[in-house]
Amino acid sequence: MAQSKGTVVLAYSGGLDTSCILVWLKEQGYDVVAYLANIGQKEDFEAARRKALALGAKKVYIEDISREFVEKFIWPAVQANALYEDRYLLGTALARPCIARGLVGIAQQEGAQHIAHGATGKGNDQVRFELSCYALCPKIKVVAPWRLPEFYQRFPGRPELMDYAKKHGIPVPVTPQTPWSMDENLMHISYEAGILENPKNQAPPGLYTKTCDPANSPDTPDVLEIQFERGVPVRVTNTGDGATRWSALELFVYLNDIAAKHGVGRIDIVENRFIGMKSRGIYETPAGTILYHAHLDIEAFTMDREVRKIKQGLSLKFSELVYNGFWHSPECEFLRECIGRSQEPVVGTVRLSVFKGHVYILGRESPRSLYNEELVSMNVQGDYEPADATGFININSLRLKEYHRLQSKVTEKQDE
């Protein structure tokens, strides 16, 4: 029996990797406390508790952090219009610092000096988990088995893990019929690895689990009205059946259901991982897709043009920081404060249609609107003098005239 190395809190999912890691940590001499975060994934949590205890966990903590996830992590991303590399809505990247807070909290409660996770040595999640843990508890020590030669040389692939699981009586749900990995939370589900590693391969028909195939979705749209306060959705109403949701968690779950019914939120992309390699990921982000389009619209309606240009730059940096695992960094905290301040005028209601895989904006209204119908109208002059545009154009054309005048001189000299 290995000498006792103290207590380690393991970020446990109940899947193949973390189940094998739990047993392996015990072999190394650790007392294992399993921490399972309920962050909106479909999971039999009590079955996972029984499984962890049967595998030798000293304690098992199951914590529902879904509401915290929505209010403290998803809402700031909605306010930011956060989008990594123009397409990824950051579902996994937002969940990791939220889970890490719970993980560190249990470690401190248990007096544990170590935390452990099942993230691979090639992915982003190892960075996200560990940067968050070190920020929240600088003295914590991380055990990352997939970066330890004694672990990854013993388990170079999935077959070796399966053999280890069978030898130690570890029941696992992974089968050869589903040769890809999945990670789910309230905001999204991701699929990667296995047959998906060849970016040419189309996603198999049975891969998607969170949304309906748009081709088989209803032939009648759902028309929703989403109300925002300071850039945060506070109410959603279905104009068809009158269904209304107010609280953050219930509102988000409802939008997930509506979007999923109409096949909204599917993307298949190749992205740049923080550690330097490209990877292929397939994502379903139903509610997040609706809110991205709705917030983008109400923000453009209520925010000053020049403020919005600056805010767009902040959002780009915010998305990069979140993706790379720097949620708890001082620069990310600063950006959240700045973006939050920009959202004061983002108030109003967006009317939209959800239909056949798409979100269509139908209209918007706001008491803070900067849109002046009389000023912009082609039928009413309003408080605007068209003749003033002549001077505006002349001033702006001066730079262009001078640039091309110089270019003409250079070309003439080259032709001599």
pTM above 0.85, yes or no: yes
* pLDDT tens track for 91-128: 999 999 999 999 999 999 999 999 999 999 999 999 99
Calculate the CA dihedral of residues 88, 313, 305, 300 and round it to 10 degrees: 20
pLDDT category at 374 given cuts 50, 70, 90 is confident
| Spatial separation of the C-alpha atoms in residues 27 and 1, rounded to whole Å | 7
Phi-psi label, residue 40: left if phi above 0, alpha if psi -120 to 50, beta otherwise: left
Identify the H or E element spanning 143.
strand 141-143
Question: pLDDT above 90 covers what percent of the chain?
Answer: 87
| Spatial separation of the C-alpha atoms in residues 349 and 138, rounded to whole Å | 43
Measured CA to CA in angstroms, residue 82 lies from 91, 124, 270, 319, 393 at distances of 10, 17, 18, 5, 35
266-272/244-245 β-pairing: unpaired
pLDDT category at 24 given cuts 50, 70, 90 is very high
pLDDT on residue 249: 98
pLDDT category at 410 given cuts 50, 70, 90 is confident
Helix, strand, coil % in the chain, rounded to nearest 5: 45, 20, 35
pLDDT category at 171 given cuts 50, 70, 90 is confident
The count of residues in the chain is: 416
Give the count of beta carbons closer than 10 Å to the beta carbon of residue 82.
25
Amino acid at 16: L
Query: Strand order in 266-272's β-sheet?
Result: 181-184, 189-192, 278-284, 266-272
354 and 259 Cβ atoms separated by less than 8 Å: yes
pLDDT on residue 385: 87
pLDDT category at 173 given cuts 50, 70, 90 is low
Question: pLDDT above 70 covers what percent of the chain?
Answer: 98
Structural domains of the chain sorted by starting position, each given as residue range(s) with its CATH number in brackets: 7-65+92-174 (3.40.50.620), 182-365 (3.90.1260.10)
Angle, helices 125-136/91-110, rounded to nearest 10 degrees: 40
| Radius of gyration in angstroms for the set of CA atoms belonging to the chain, rounded to a whole number | 26
| Spatial separation of the C-alpha atoms in residues 274 and 296, rounded to whole Å | 26
285 and 91 Cβ atoms separated by less than 8 Å: yes
Question: Which carries the bigger pLDDT value, residue 43 or residue 135?
Answer: 135
pLDDT on residue 2: 66
Give the single-character DSSP code of 271.
E
Tokens of 265: 């939120």
The residue-averaged pLDDT of 370-382 equals: 80
354 and 262 Cβ atoms separated by less than 8 Å: yes
Q: What's the maximum distance between 2 C-alpha atoms anywhere in the chain? A: 90
Which residues are registered as beta bridge partners of 267?
A: 283
| Spatial separation of the C-alpha atoms in residues 22 and 168, rounded to whole Å | 11
Query: Strand order in 222-229's β-sheet?
Result: 244-245, 232-238, 222-229, 348-355, 358-365
Measured CA to CA in angstroms, residue 316 lies from 127, 320, 321, 414 at distances of 20, 6, 9, 42
| Spatial separation of the C-alpha atoms in residues 189 and 260, rounded to whole Å | 12
Please give the mean pLDDT across all residues of the chain. 94
Tell me the catalytic residues. Answer: 17, 96, 125, 181
222 and 239 Cβ atoms separated by less than 8 Å: no
Predicted confidence (pLDDT) at residue 175 exceeds the cutoff of 60: no
Predicted confidence (pLDDT) at residue 235 exceeds the cutoff of 80: yes
- Can you list the alpha helix ranges (DSSP code H) found in 111-170? 125-136, 149-152, 158-167
| Spatial separation of the C-alpha atoms in residues 214 and 262, rounded to whole Å | 6
| Spatial separation of the C-alpha atoms in residues 47 and 5, rounded to whole Å | 28
Predicted confidence (pLDDT) at residue 172 exceeds the cutoff of 70: no
Amino acid at 14: G
The residue-averaged pLDDT of 266-295 equals: 97
344 and 363 Cβ atoms separated by less than 8 Å: no
* pLDDT tens track for 201-211: 999 988 999 99
What are residue 62's phi and psi, to 5 degrees? -120, 120
Burial per residue of 355-371, b for 16 or more beta-carbon CB atoms within 10 angstroms, e otherwise: bbbebeeeebebeeeee
Tokens of 365: 């209204």
Closest CA relative to residue 188, chosen from 158, 216, 208: 208
pLDDT on residue 85: 98
